Amino acid sequence: MSEFAQFADRLKRPIDVKLHDFQRNERLRHLIFASQLTPQLLEKLRRMADMIRQLSRTKEGNLQLKQLLAHRRAMLYFSQPSTRTFLSFMAACQILGITCNEVRDPKTSSEAKRESKMDSIRMFSSYFDVIIMRTPEPNFAECCAYLMNELESREMRSVPIINAGSGSDEHPTQALLDMYTLMRTFSTDYSRESKQSRFVELQSQTPELKPGIANKTYLFCGDMGRGRTVRSLAYTIGQYPNVRLLFVSPSHETLRLDEQTKKRLRALRADIHEFDSLDAQLEGQPILAQADAVYMTRIQREHNSTQDDSDFSKIDFSQYQLNPERVARMKIYAPILHPFPRDSVMGEIPTSVDMDSRAMYFRQARNGMWARAALLVHLFDAADELFMLHNGR
């Protein structure tokens, strides 16, 4: 797209070089790629999300949280369909007292009068203090961050950009909430004050279960080719030591994991394996029985070409359905995650699994609200105030 041409050189750089542009010392300036979510930052955000969750249990805590960022305004620019990401960002803003506004259909903005997307973004930055954006174009959020950096370097008004889903590319805030869910699941210190941690309970039944994200096997299943949430989560988990990543999809080039992603994951030293059925085995053991967590995704049919439609009619998609019989083969503690929406026709997770204690997907969606609120506190540099509120409870 021609309006991105001015950033072409920056776009071409390797990811590791780019990351520096989105940081300001220890803090994120923009969140564009999941690789910015380092284990250290995730630990900080996890603690903050837990504090926000705890504070919001009381009316007093809620009112205090509402003051935290009451002087800030957010623009939610979502030109691609979204339910959970949009609503959970809006709820996160409401928790922190941030006023939100939204543009969901560019036809209602001056883009309909041939205004460039970059001009629209710069206009948003005149009125709002953060831009949270989801667009069909893969590099758009990244280019917006470069534009904001240019303005900042000239001491002009500039605001943080949050990538809330960029085409088929990345979805870093989904990785953030997926990680928050996994970190809570595999943590000894998570419990409501009154209840024993579920983890501690499960550990007494399966002593091999250890806390933390490292040294575990993660199974991903479904549309590995077009699932941006899979890529973003895999890049994040891949930063932890000794992780095994199992990818299950039909062996069709549209649906299996792309070479570029595999290369990046290998560079992180993740041990990666691919399979074409949930019933496959690795080293003589069923993969489902080896997984410490299972991440299901839907087949993203809206992106199909006519050729895909015809090819997919020959695929047996029941191989990618986590039905109760398959759940029964999983470890008793292994959480089942899904970024949602799930496909109610294909049923990659049938509703009969919803009441299983491992079905974590509804909790995972709620976790999005806490994790995104923590991200906003971090971006606006209000972590110290949050700690003070929490400690003064």
Residues that bind ligand ASP (CB under 6 A): 165, 171, 228-229, 297-298, 300, 339-340
Between 206 and 344, name the residue whose CB sits nearer to ligand ASP: 344
Angle between helices 140-153 and 117-127 (to 10 degrees): 60
Provide the token pair at 74.
Answer: 């957010």
Measured CA to CA, the distance from residue 180 to residue 217 in angstroms comes to 17
Q: How far is the CB of 248 from ligand ASP (least distance, A)?
A: 16
Please say which residue, 56 or 82, places its beta carbon nearer to ligand ASP.
Answer: 82
Considering beta carbons, is residue 165 or 225 the nearer one to ligand ASP?
165
The nearest distance, CB 281 to ligand ASP, in angstroms, is 28
Decide: 393 and 191 in contact? Cβ < 8 Å: no
Buried b (16+ CB within 10 A) or exposed e, 115-139: eebbebbbebbeebbbbbbbbebeb
Q: How far is the CB of 169 from ligand ASP (least distance, A)?
A: 10
Classify the phi-psi angles of 25: left when phi > 0, otherwise alpha if psi is within -120 to 50, otherwise beta.
left
Q: Whose CA is closest to 52, among 43, 65, 63?
A: 65
Nearest-approach distance from CB 220 to ligand ASP, in angstroms: 13
Nearer residue to ligand ASP within complex by CB, 129 or 170: 170
The least CB distance from residue 224 to ligand ASP, in Å, is 12
In the complex, the smallest distance separating the C-beta of residue 297 from ligand ASP, rounded to whole angstroms, is 6
Token pair 């994951």: residue:
265
In the complex, least distance from residue 85 CB atom to ligand ASP, rounded to whole angstroms: 6
Nearer to ligand ASP, 55 or 131 (CB): 131
> Cβ-closest residue to ligand ASP?
339
Identify which of residues 125 and 367 has a Cβ nearer to ligand ASP in the complex: 367
Transcribe 119-175 into DSSP letters.
Answer: HHHHHHHHH-SEEEEEESSTTHHHHHHHHHHHHHHTT-----EEEEEETTTB-HHHH
With vertex at residue 8, the alpha carbon angle to CA 112 and CA 223, rounded to the nearest 5 degrees, is 75
d(CA 41, CA 371): 12
Q: Which residue, 171 or 244, is less far from ligand ASP as judged by CB?
A: 171
